């Protein structure tokens, strides 16, 4: 009995001190990466066998299961930006960001009862077809261009963030002894390991971008959906493994993590509730506003999201898909928040386990300088061999899947909204599916090139991932979503909406780049980057429409929200077959 008690005490004592970091990834980690990539390629090959038309390529034949679509929405919108950015934000700035979920009941109500039933009654392939029906061709082109800029910036940012994580994870393997011969072939002056690691980031960007382009052009939308399902499972697994490791090796839990964070910096655990100062980076109130407007804008205008709802069989299935996406998003968001809190406490207890420059001691406190690098370093150096490789595979495929989803949606918009409108009588050179694949390749190459530029700019900006979202791509979301809001709820014509969205773009640009443009020490809060131009555009349109009346016989008024909602709910194919038999 005494021996058993001593053994238990020894085990508990060992779990209080985390093992020293290992050298980095081992061969078994890369074996796990290879197996995961083979599985995803198998899904792509399987999916490519069922593509006879563009409906199949872009929408999976409108028969995708609602559960799969919901998980796909989660995996697509989560991306490596959130997966890396949320814990990094928690580690560097504290808990304020997670007040965003307070707005979830309101945003869910808008999506479930306003957006989804409206768009499912229209059954478009491209969301921007609505803008032509409601206004005119020029408005559709404006919406499509805003979407292209939004998603190209988004994909470039995702590629940078994922590649940064991979560089951090495999950085210890990049040494002068292994890379010098190759580096000197390109540049005889490249001899410093730090320079080699910096250039390695760009090689990872090129490799991931080209890989995503190839299998995205082959697999199409169905491959994106099913790989997103696999990816969402892996995203959950990564957070659970991280939390489990910290709990097991340190013997601590959320209460202790909170105490450690609070002792180091009160600002981490005591967020500002409200402030009238627009230069305050984030408060509980503005964090909730950020989430509310981001959700209703993406679900009410973004082709990447709406395309997934269009691929379901019915309104009921689309609503179920959103509920799956919303519930899983909250769950993984909370898990990621706990991961950030756990890793902050872990490395405050073990500061020597991190490379220099990530945590810096100042005035008796530890200041986090590079919170975004903590999670990938933990994956590569703390988790047991093999598990780190699985997480590496998650990050690689998350970047690739995000690119695939974005490229497929952009191709659908470009083929139907831009090329088809600007050259309506073109002589076809390729089949519709062949043209879609050609666009996927071209857009993938453009995004890969832009991601290199984003990487260069981001590394010299001094901002974390969350801060970079607004100037990189979110500045286009408010103006884009305002086109749909005006079309649904105002009785105005295309003249009014073009003026309003033009003003919205200007407001959004200055709001996002204020500090850069004017060299000030302050920056308008990032949490209102979407809300301010979105609401401003609607109010400007409402004001101008009082003086610029729309023609009474304007056919576009048939596409306002009240009129569309009077239409019957479209039946899926099975319901149509039963109706025909009866």
**Pick from 38-47, 273-282, 291-300, 513-522: least confident:** 38-47
pLDDT category at 431 given cuts 50, 70, 90 is low
What is the per-residue DSSP string for 344-371?
A: HHHHHH-GGGS-TTSEEEETTEEEES-G
Lowest mean pLDDT among 145-149, 180-184, 360-364, 407-411: 180-184
Q: Is 268 a member of any domain?
A: yes
**For residues 267 and 175, which has the higher predicted lDDT (pLDDT)?**
267
Question: In this structure, is residue 181 part of a structural domain?
Answer: yes
Asked whether residue 238 is domain-assigned, the answer is: yes
Mean pLDDT to the nearest integer, 72-83: 74
Whether the per-residue pLDDT at 77 is higher than 80: the answer is no
Q: How confident is the model at residue 426 (pLDDT cuts 50, 70, 90)?
A: low
Average pLDDT over residues 504-518: 92
Q: Is residue 13 part of a domain?
A: no
Tell me the C-alpha to C-alpha distance, in Å, between residue 371 and each of 153, 368, 464.
22, 6, 8
Query: Is the pLDDT at 408 greater than 90, yes or no?
Result: no
pLDDT value, residue 198: 53
Q: How far apart are CA 217 and CA 444, in angstroms?
A: 9
Stated pTM of the model:
0.81
As a whole number of angstroms, the distance between CA 551 and CA 471 comes to: 38
* pLDDT exceeds cutoff 90 at 133: yes
Q: How confident is the model at residue 393 (pLDDT cuts 50, 70, 90)?
A: confident
The larger pLDDT score, comparing residue 313 to residue 112, is at 112
CA distance 335 to 324: 16
Residue 60 in this model has a pLDDT that exceeds 70: no
Element (H, E) at 15: none
Average pLDDT, the chain: 79
Q: Please tell me whether residue 135 adopts helix, strand or coil conformation.
A: coil
Q: Alpha-carbon distance 405 to 195, whole Å?
A: 33
Domain carrying residue 304? 18-569
Residues 6+ apart with CB under 8 A from 455: 160, 163, 164, 201, 202, 205
Averaged pLDDT, 360-368: 80
Average of per-residue pLDDT across 73-84: 76
What are the b/e assignments for 58-96, b being 16+ CB within 10 Å? bbbbbbbbbebbbbbbbbbbbbbbbbbbbbbbbbbbbbb
Measured CA to CA, the distance from residue 371 to residue 363 in angstroms comes to 19
The predicted pLDDT at position 172 comes to 56
In a domain, 228, yes or no: yes
CATH number reported for the structural domain that contains residue 430 in this entry: 1.20.1730.10
Backbone φ and ψ for 114, nearest 5 degrees, come out as -120, -55
Residue 234 domain-assigned? yes
Residues 476 and 308: their CA atoms lie apart, in Å, by 21
Is the per-residue pLDDT at 445 higher than 50?
yes
pLDDT, position 49: 57
Number of domains in the chain: 1
pLDDT for the residue numbered 462: 67
- Residue 6 located in a structural domain: no
Q: What is the pLDDT of residues 154-170, one digit of tens each?
A: 888 888 888 877 777 77
Q: Is 80 helix (H, G, I), strand (E, B) or coil?
A: helix
Q: What percentage of residues in the chain have a pLDDT greater than 70?
A: 76
In angstroms, rounded to a whole number, what is the distance separating the alpha carbons of residues 559 and 139? 14
Q: What is the mean pLDDT of residues 291-298?
A: 94
Residue 26 has pLDDT above 70, yes or no: yes
- Per-residue confidence (pLDDT) for residue 145, from 0 to 100: 92
């Amino acid at each position: 009995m005494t021996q058993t008690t001593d053994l238990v005490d020894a085990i508990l004592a060992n779990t209080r001190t985390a093992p020293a970091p290992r050298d980095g990834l081992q061969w078994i980690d890369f074996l796990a990466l290879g197996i995961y990539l083979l599985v995803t390629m198998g899904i792509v090959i399987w999916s490519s066998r069922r593509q006879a038309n563009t409906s199949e390529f872009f929408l999976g034949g409108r028969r995708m299961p609602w559960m799969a679509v919901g998980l796909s929405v989660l995996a697509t919108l989560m991306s490596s930006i959130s997966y890396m950015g949320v814990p990094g934000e928690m580690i560097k700035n504290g808990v304020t960001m997670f007040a965003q979920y307070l707005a979830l009941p309101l945003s869910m109500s808008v999506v479930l009862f306003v957006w989804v039933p409206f768009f499912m009654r229209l059954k478009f392939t491209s969301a921007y077809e609505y803008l032509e029906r409601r206004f005119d061709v020029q408005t559709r082109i404006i919406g499509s261009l805003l979407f292209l800029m939004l998603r190209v910036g988004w994909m470039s940012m995702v590629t940078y963030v994922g590649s940064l994580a991979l560089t951090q994870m495999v950085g210890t393997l990049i040494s002068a002894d292994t890379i010098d011969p190759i580096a000197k072939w390109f540049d005889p002056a490249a001899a410093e390991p730090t320079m080699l690691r910096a250039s390695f980031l760009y090689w990872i960007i090129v490799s991931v971008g080209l890989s995503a382009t190839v299998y995205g052009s082959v697999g199409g939308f169905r491959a994106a959906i099913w790989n997103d399902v696999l990816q969402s499972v892996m995203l959950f697994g990564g957070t659970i493994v991280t939390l489990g490791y910290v709990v097991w090796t340190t013997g601590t839990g959320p209460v202790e993590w909170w105490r450690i964070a609070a002792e180091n910096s009160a600002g981490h655990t005591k967020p500002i509730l409200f402030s009238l100062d627009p230069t305050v980076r984030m408060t509980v109130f503005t964090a909730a506003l950020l989430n509310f407007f981001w959700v209703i804008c993406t679900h009410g205008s973004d082709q990447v999201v709406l395309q997934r709802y269009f691929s379901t069989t019915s309104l009921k299935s689309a609503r179920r898909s959103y509920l799956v996406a919303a519930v899983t998003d909250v769950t993984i968001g909370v898990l990621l928040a706990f991961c950030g809190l756990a890793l902050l406490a872990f490395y405050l207890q073990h500061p020597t386990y991190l490379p220099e420059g990530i945590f810096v001691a100042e005035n008796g406190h530890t200041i986090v300088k590079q919170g975004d690098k903590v999670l990938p370093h933990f994956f590569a150096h703390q988790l047991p061999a093999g598990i780190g490789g699985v997480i590496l595979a998650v990050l690689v495929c998350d970047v690739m899947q995000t690119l695939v989803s974005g490229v497929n949606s952009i191709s659908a918009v470009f083929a139907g909204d831009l090329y088809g409108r600007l050259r309506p009588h073109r002589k076809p050179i390729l089949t519709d599916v062949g043209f879609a694949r050609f666009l996927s390749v071209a857009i993938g190459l453009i995004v890969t090139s832009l991601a290199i530029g984003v990487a260069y700019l981001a590394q010299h900006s001094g901002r974390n991932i969350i801060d970079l979202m607004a100037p990189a791509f979110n500045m286009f979301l408010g103006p884009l979503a305002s086109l749909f809001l005006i079309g649904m709820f105002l009785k105005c014509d295309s003249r009014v909406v073009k003026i309003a969205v033009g003003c919205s773009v200007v407001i959004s640009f200055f709001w996002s780049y204020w500090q850069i443009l004017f060299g000030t020490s302050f920056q308008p809060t990032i949490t209102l980057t979407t809300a301010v131009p979105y609401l401003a555009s609607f109010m400007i349109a409402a004001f101008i429409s009082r003086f610029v009346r729309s023609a009474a016989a304007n056919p576009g008024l048939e596409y306002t929200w009240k009129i569309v909602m009077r239409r019957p709910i479209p039946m899926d194919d099975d319901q149509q077959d039963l109706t025909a038999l009866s």
